[in-house]
Structures are given as structure tokens and as C-alpha cells.
Amino acid sequence: DQQVKQNSPSLSVQEGRISILNCDYTNSMFDYFLWYKKYPAEGPTFLISISSIKDKNEDGRFTVFLNKSAKHLSLHIVPSQPGDSAVYFCAAKHGSSNTGKLIFGQGTTLQVKP
Amino acid sequence: EAGVAQSPRYKIIEKRQSVAFWCNPISGHATLYWYQQILGQGPKLLIQFQNNGVVDDSQLPKDRFSAERLKGVDSTLKIQPAKLEDSAVYLCASSQSPGTGRSYEQYFGPGTRLTVT
């Protein structure tokens, strides 16, 4: 049962343009959503998060949008830079659990071309 | 501030052999997680510790995997005996205690890439 899904395995964008990475979830009990970035041979790095009570959170070039009715969130990167090329994971935390367990999507590989 | 440390970074073993991984979390982080990441998939939680107690080990294959966190700091994850399907990256993460600040944010180490032949 894949509760968090990233249906696009890869995305290619030109430098300076917008990158939009998408994530869908099935469990309405998730209360926090996080995006992680992963470079090869490194562990995932926390990027940005959003609470389920909000619909937008912005941090510099990164903005996460949450559409609870559609159970969908997206990460916007503007403008995209070659250094943003990495694998991006969407993750969700169950609100009724105090364990902090994260459920991860499969990841989307972003390539930003110079 | 030092990040999460893991060793070794790479390990190659034959099936039925045993292997152990070590993790040192960020100083002050009471919660420690071990994840398994198979190629092409997202990380999957194996076990979570709160200080030195197990909070969640529902997805840990207990017939072959074991983990401990003595003194509530460092942790080791062991596989014995290893199977071919255990080939994966094993990630350790840590976070603040639940209910404190942004405890939902987990910080990951570089991982150990295990190859079972």
C-alpha cells in the first residue's frame, strides 16, 4: 500500500525556469509533509516542510503548496539552478502517531540543464 | 554542529554472512531511526528509538535484523544472516524528541551501501 506517491520518476528543466515536483498521498491523517533532496552517495537533506493546516510555505527559491481536498502537494523551485539537480523525496508524517515515522515517496530525479 | 555519522560507507558481503552498521546521531537528538533504501525506492523505516527504548520496529525483519542503542546515543544495526534482497543503502537519521520544536524534521547520515553477493 503506497500511501505517498511520486508518479514522475524524472524531470528535466532548463536553468532559470521553474521546476515543479508533484506528490500525491492517500491518508488524510497525515499532519506534516516534508521535501528532502538527495545527492548521489549522500543522505537525504531536509529542504522544506508544510503543516496540514496550511496551504503554502515559502523559503527562498522553494515553495511547497498543499491541496488537502485533492491530497496533493507540489514543490516549486524558481529559478532552477544546475546545483538543484538531485533526487527529491516527498515524505509525510501521520498525525495520530507520536513516533515521528515518515512515509516516503519513490523519489523524482530532477535534472537542471545549463 | 556535526551531522549524523555512519560507518562503514560501503560493505560487500556474501549471502549468509553477517554485517553490522554503526550510527552516531546529532548531539542532543533523543530520537534515532534506521531506514532501508532499495534502489529506485524511497527510504523505508526499519526501527525507531526514543533514547534507548524501541518505539517502532514493526517493519524490522526480526528473524535476521537486530538493532540496539546503548546509553541512548550510538546505535548499531546488524543483519545475520544476510540475503541477496538485503542489498540496499541503510540510512540512519535523528531528530529532537517528539513535542519539542520541529521534531518532525529528521536529519540523515550519508548511509551505508550494502551489497550482498
Q: For position B98, what pLDDT does the model report? A: 73
Query: Best interface-test mutation with B: which of A32, A101, A108 has the largest number of B CBs within 10 A?
Result: A101
In chain B, which residue's Cα lies nearest the Cα of A105? B42
State how far the alpha carbon of B62 is from the alpha carbons of A32, B59, B67, B74, B79, in Å.
29, 9, 9, 20, 9
Tell me how far the alpha carbon of residue A73 is from its chain's centroid. 7
Percentages helix, strand, coil for chain B (3-state, rounded to 5) are 5, 45, 50
What is the number of other CB atoms lying within 10 angstroms of the CB of residue A70?
A: 9
Side chain identity, residue A59: D
Q: For position B32, what pLDDT does the model report? A: 95
In chain B, which residue's Cα lies nearest the Cα of A97? B98
Quote the minimal CA–CA distance from B111 to chain A in Å. Answer: 6
In chain A, which residue's Cα lies nearest the Cα of B102? A49
**Which chain B residues are Cβ-neighbours of A104 within 8 angstroms?**
42-44
Q: Considering CB atoms only, which of B40, B98, B110 is closest to A43?
A: B110
Does residue A78 sit in helix, strand or coil?
coil
**Which chain B residues are Cβ-neighbours of A107 within 8 angstroms?**
40-42
Interface check for A62 against chain B (CB to CB < 8 A): the answer is no
Least confident interval from A37-51, A67-81, A97-111? A97-111
Q: What is the mean pLDDT of residues A16-27?
A: 97
Which three cell numbers, joined as nine digits, stand for A90? 516527498
Q: For position A98, what pLDDT does the model report? A: 63
State how far the alpha carbon of B114 is from the alpha carbons of A86, B21, B65, B85, B91, in Å.
21, 10, 14, 10, 11
Strands B10-13, B112-116: parallel, antiparallel or unpaired by DSSP?
Answer: parallel
Measured distance CA(A53)–CA(A44) in Å, rounded: 25
pLDDT, averaged across chain A: 94
Interface check for A45 against chain B (CB to CB < 8 A): the answer is yes
pLDDT in tens, chain B (117 residues): 679 999 999 999 999 999 999 999 999 899 999 999 999 899 999 999 998 899 999 999 999 999 999 888 999 999 999 999 999 999 999 998 777 777 788 999 999 999 999
**Which chain A residues are Cβ-neighbours of B102 within 8 angstroms?**
49
Contact B108 A43 (CB under 8 A): yes
Does residue A93 sit in helix, strand or coil?
strand
Q: Is the pLDDT of residue A83 over 90?
A: yes
Measured distance CA(B12)–CA(A71) in Å, rounded: 41
In chain B, which residue's Cα lies nearest the Cα of A99? B55
Contact B4 A105 (CB under 8 A): no
Q: For position B1, what pLDDT does the model report? A: 64
Contact B45 A102 (CB under 8 A): yes
Tell me how far the alpha carbon of residue A6 is from its chain's centroid. 9
Contact A102 B91 (CB under 8 A): no
Q: What is the mean pLDDT of residues A19-36?
A: 95
Q: For position B80, what pLDDT does the model report? A: 97
* Contacting residues for A107 by C-beta, under 8 A, at least 6 apart: A6, A9, A38, A87, A88, A89, B40, B41, B42
Q: What is the DSSP string of B62-102?
A: TTTEEEE-GGGS-EEEEESS--GGG-EEEEEEEEPPTTSSS
The pLDDT tens digits for A84-113 are 999 999 999 987 666 678 999 999 999 999
